[in-house]
Structure 1
Amino acid sequence: MRPSVLSILPDLRTGPLAVLLVIFQASFIMTLASNVAFQASDVANEVSNVAFEASFATLQASIIAFEALFVTDEIPYAAYQAWFATPQASIVASWATLPPSLALGLDRDCQDTAGRIGFAARAP
């Protein structure tokens, strides 16, 4: 009768092989724990990336809102400039239609009036 394989192997519960088996099991458990910790770290890293992307999107939205504020601020200023340019254009157009002698006389009258106003302001 042939001996069985189990009878040839030493008893793994005692002796130096038992110590090696315990070390191997501990190493295997530590490897599994390290793998779980790595996966948890990977998940935490992904969560951090998502949070960073959300923060960056918020920053971009605030920059866009800030730029929109400038645009909406420029619209009334542009409307004011257009409103102010309309009478100026009509004045320039009306002066262009006057005969040169009359336009020159009006210009002298304006300068004379401005001079008298300035003189009155300086008078004691």
Structure 2
Amino acid sequence: MSNDHLVGTRVVHRRYVPYGHAHYAGNLVDGAYSLGLFGDVATELCIHTDGDEGLFASYSDVQFKAPVRAGDVLEVSAELVRAGTRSRLMEFAVHVVARGAATDDAPGAATVLDPPLLATTATGTVVVP
């Protein structure tokens, strides 16, 4: 039986980046943070399509296009682009949808980004039983 009917399935998560994840000047967060979020959306996507969490096999074409900072609100997506017998090829993206804009006078200030800022993309392969 073909798995073509699964292609196009998409999962989206939103996540606030806590200040405890900042590692660098300017409250920058390391690129591995985005890759960890890709694992989360890939897991949910496999649950929807296969009833199993799956096992991440590889990433390819990872691109860090813009910084992710503590205080950002991220939208993380995974879309199934090819479904083999056991392998699932997915495309991932992280968009910054809101960014902290704190000042001494407004320590909790933030702004919604319109349009959102594309921060990270990748392609990955997950294996399911």
When normalised by structure 1's length, the TM-score is 0.20
Q: Counting helix residues as a fraction of each chain, which structure ranks higher?
A: 1
Q: Which TM-score applies when normalising by structure 2?
A: 0.19
The one of the two structures with greater contact order (alpha-carbon pairs below 8 A, sep at least 6) is 2
Higher strand share: 2
